[in-house]
Amino acid sequence: MERSTWSTADDNAVTIARALAMDSVQKVGNGHPGTAMALAPVAYTLFQRFLKHDPTDSAWLGRDRFVLSCGHSSLTLYIQLFLSGYGLSLDDLKSFRTHNSLTPGHPEYGHTNGVETTTGPLGAGVSNAVGMAMAARYEKGLLDPQGETTLFDHNIWVICSDGDLEEGVSGEASSLAGTQELGNLKMIYDDNRISIEGDTHLAFTEDVAGRYRAYGWSVIEVSALSDGNVDREALEKAMILAESTTDRPTFIRMHSTIAWPAPHARGLAESHGSALGADEIAATKLLLGLNPAESFVVPTEVLSHARLVIDRGQALHAKWKADFEDWKRKNPERAHLLERLRSKGLPAGWESALPEFAAGKDVATRAASGKVISALAAVLPEFWGGSADLAGSNNTTIAGSKSFLPSSSQMEGADPYGRVIHFGIREHAMGGILNGIALHGLTRPFGGTFLVFSDYMRGAVRLAALMNIPVTFVWTHDSIGLGEDGPTHQPVEHLASLRLIPNLAIVRPADANETSVAWREVITRNKPAGFALSRQNLPVLDRTIFSSAEGTARGAYIVSEAHGEAHVILIATGSEVSLAIAAQEILEAEGIHARVVSAPCLEWFEETDRAYKESVLLPSVKARVSIEAGVTSGWRDYVGDSGISIGLNHFGASASAGTLFKEFGFTADAVVSAAKESIARAGN
Nearest to 44 by CA among 7, 71, 90, 95: 7
Residue 629: left (phi > 0), alpha (psi -120 to 50), or beta? beta
Task: Look at residue 271 and give its three-state secondary structure.
Answer: helix
Task: Look at residue 195 and give its three-state secondary structure.
Answer: strand
Q: How far apart are alpha carbons 475 and 366 in whole angstroms? A: 9
Q: Is 427 a catalytic residue?
A: yes
Q: How far apart are alpha carbons 574 and 514 in whole angstroms? A: 9
Binning the chain into helix, strand and coil, the percentages to the nearest 5 are 45, 15, 40
Q: How far apart are alpha carbons 480 and 535 in whole angstroms? A: 10
Counts of helices then strands in the chain (DSSP H, E): 26, 22
Q: Is the dihedral of CA 143, 148, 149, 155 positive or negative?
A: positive
Helices (H), 359-475: 365-379, 391-394, 427-440, 458-467
Q: How does strand 538-539 pair with strand 362-363? A: antiparallel
Nearest to 212 by CA among 231, 229, 194, 191: 191
Non-local CB neighbours of 613 within 8 Å, separated by 6+ positions? 605
Contact between 52 and 1 under an 8 Å Cβ cutoff? The reply is yes
- Please calculate the CA angle 159-163-166 and round it to the nearest 5 degrees: 110
Residue tagged active-site, from 139, 427, 521, 576: 427
Contact between 645 and 626 under an 8 Å Cβ cutoff? The reply is yes
Q: How far apart are alpha carbons 681 and 670 in whole angstroms? A: 16
Contact between 267 and 210 under an 8 Å Cβ cutoff? The reply is no
Nearest to 186 by CA among 119, 139, 234, 254: 254
- Phi then psi dihedrals of residue 471, to 5 deg: -110, 135
Q: How far apart are alpha carbons 413 and 496 in whole angstroms? A: 39
Run of H or E including 531: strand 529-533
- Number of Cβ within 10 Å of residue 387's Cβ equals 27
Q: How far apart are alpha carbons 269 and 246 in whole angstroms? A: 37
Longest dimension (CA), the chain: 91
Run of H or E including 557: strand 557-560
Run of H or E including 159: strand 156-161
Task: Look at residue 246 and give its three-state secondary structure.
Answer: coil
Q: How far apart are alpha carbons 89 and 109 in whole angstroms? A: 18
Run of H or E including 185: strand 185-191
Helices (H), 29-145: 33-45, 74-84, 90-94, 124-143
- Please calculate the CA angle 615-616-621 and round it to the nearest 5 degrees: 85
Contact between 250 and 187 under an 8 Å Cβ cutoff? The reply is yes
Q: How far apart are alpha carbons 445 and 506 in whole angstroms? A: 17
Q: In what order do the strands lie in the sheet with 472-476?
A: 414-415, 403-404, 420-422, 383-387, 444-450, 472-476, 529-533, 505-507
Query: Catalytic amino acids?
Result: 427
